[in-house]
Amino acid sequence: MPNPRTYFDINIGQESIGRIVFELFADVVPKTAENFRALCTGEKGIGQTTGKPLSYKGAPFHRIIPDFMIQGGDFSNQNGTGGESIYGAKFEDENFDLKHDRPFLLSMANAGAGTNGLLKGVSVVREIERTPKGSGDAPLSPVIIADCGELAEGEDDGISGPDAGDKYADWPEDYEGPREDTDLVVIAQDLKTLGNNFFKTGDYAKAQKKYQKAIRYLNEKPVFDSDDAPELVKKFYAVKIPCYLNKGFCALKLDKPELTIKDMTTVLDMDTQYPSEADKTKAYFRRGSAYLKINDLDSAKADLEKAKKLSPKDPGVLRELEAVHTKLTAKRNKEKKAYAKMFE
């Protein structure tokens, strides 16, 4: 009989980032594997000691240490101090034969007994690892097990394969091909092209992911030094700048203006010799549009005025600038009426 397979569907904040699929080594640690399986299905009802549903659904990952471990599943206290097994508060360790001798293994809290393995979802784990963290290695945005369960024997795991033409691991550290500087440029260019294809069809979510993936590969070389050939540096920026510009545009289309502001600021903060005037126009325009979306009218006006200076006849810039002026006028008129009432 094959080992059980279970899954977690993960959210960071309000965004779904994908599914992790586990194999539980029931042939080695049957009691521990059964506990994990049942906590994935939630079939055991309410816990006797915590009074909470015996289920990982809704539980957070409370501690994240990149390239070492991520901890979660405390469904009662949400911080690693609680939880309950299907057998009661605690149960005896089964064995310590299996060791953490490779990445992406799953264990119960004592990191010895009950080691199991990740079948799919490496990129989801990497994304969890890279989420910003605060004190105690806790994620700043909640990382939540939005759903979980067991997969029947032969059942589809719900994870789609790679997009056509994408032969690269989602994260550079998992890519086994050549990773010299020139290779990174080629990889990023391929990913940018895939992003452009999704962009053209209006699939902005997928396009955004491809641009972000391209940037991850380029960021394998975060800085340049005097030994780097100028042509290589130019090639890096020739791919990186449009990836940021397009990623920011996708964020605007997906109603995530804060991400647009961040991406456009990255472009505008680059060494001034690399973004062209056209690049700067796009960056100011898109950042101005993002500020307009969040109703930061002064910042929107400042950026759009800069875009207009670089490209005086751009119809998109002129249209957004007019929208800002209309909103500013309405705001001033409202303030005047409010002040007038104070002296009635």
**Band of the pLDDT at 112, cuts 50, 70, 90?**
very low
How many angstroms separate the CA atoms of 91 and 33, rounded? 12
DSSP, res 162 = P
Q: And the tokens for 184? A: 């990174």
The number of domains in the chain is 2
In terms of domains, do 18 and 141 share one?
A: yes
Residue 343 maps to a domain: no
| pLDDT tens figures, 221-262 | 988 988 899 999 999 999 999 999 999 999 999 999 999 999
How many angstroms separate the CA atoms of 202 and 199, rounded? 5
In terms of domains, do 245 and 209 share one?
A: yes
- For 323, residues 6+ apart whose C-beta sits below 8 A from its C-beta are 292
In b/e form, how buried is each residue of 175-214, taking b as 16+ CB within 10 angstroms? beeeeebeebbebbbbbbebbbbbbeeeebebbbbbbbbb
328-337: long-range contacts at Cβ-Cβ below 8 A with a sequence spacing of 24 or more? Answer: 328/297, 328/301, 331/297
Mean pLDDT of 323-337: 88
Residue 167 maps to a domain: no
pLDDT for the residue numbered 110: 44
From 151, 180, 198, the end of a domain falls on 151
Q: And the tokens for 233? A: 């540096």
Neighbours of 40 (CB within 10 A): 25
Mean pLDDT of 181-204: 97
How many angstroms separate the CA atoms of 57 and 90, rounded? 20
In terms of domains, do 177 and 147 share one?
A: no
Q: Please answer whether residues 265 and 280 qualify as being in contact, where contact means their C-beta atoms are separated by less than 8 angstroms.
A: no
In terms of domains, do 127 and 196 share one?
A: no
Q: And the tokens for 313? A: 């006849």
In terms of domains, do 107 and 46 share one?
A: yes
Helix (H) or strand (E) holding 98: none
pLDDT for the residue numbered 100: 45
In this predicted structure, the answer to whether residue 171 has a pLDDT above a threshold of 50 is yes
pLDDT for the residue numbered 99: 52
pLDDT for the residue numbered 67: 85
Return the SS3 of 23. Answer: strand
Q: Residue 55's domain is classified under what CATH number? A: 2.40.100.10
Helix (H) or strand (E) holding 21: strand 15-23
In terms of domains, do 211 and 80 share one?
A: no
Q: And the tokens for 272? A: 């001034």
How far from the centroid of its chain's Cα atoms is residue 35's Cα? Answer: 30
Q: In residues, how long is the chain? A: 344
Q: For residue 89, what are the domain limits? A: 5-151
In this predicted structure, the answer to whether residue 8 has a pLDDT above a threshold of 90 is yes
Mean pLDDT of 112-138: 84
In terms of domains, do 259 and 298 share one?
A: yes
In terms of domains, do 201 and 308 share one?
A: yes
Q: And the tokens for 131? A: 């989420």
| pLDDT tens figures, 180-190 | 999 999 999 99
| pLDDT tens figures, 80-106 | 888 888 887 555 555 545 554 556 566
| pTM, to two decimals | 0.83
How many angstroms separate the CA atoms of 210 and 179, rounded? 18
| pLDDT tens figures, 37-84 | 999 999 999 999 899 999 999 999 999 999 888 999 999 999 988 888
pLDDT for the residue numbered 113: 41
pLDDT for the residue numbered 268: 98
Q: Please answer whether residues 118 and 7 qualify as being in contact, where contact means their C-beta atoms are separated by less than 8 angstroms.
A: no
How many angstroms separate the CA atoms of 114 and 105, rounded? 10
Q: And the tokens for 218? A: 């380029």
pLDDT for the residue numbered 162: 81
Q: Residue 238's domain is classified under what CATH number? A: 1.25.40.10
251 vs 108: which has the higher pLDDT: 251
How many angstroms separate the CA atoms of 240 and 277, rounded? 16
Residue 157 maps to a domain: no
pLDDT for the residue numbered 114: 44
pLDDT for the residue numbered 88: 73
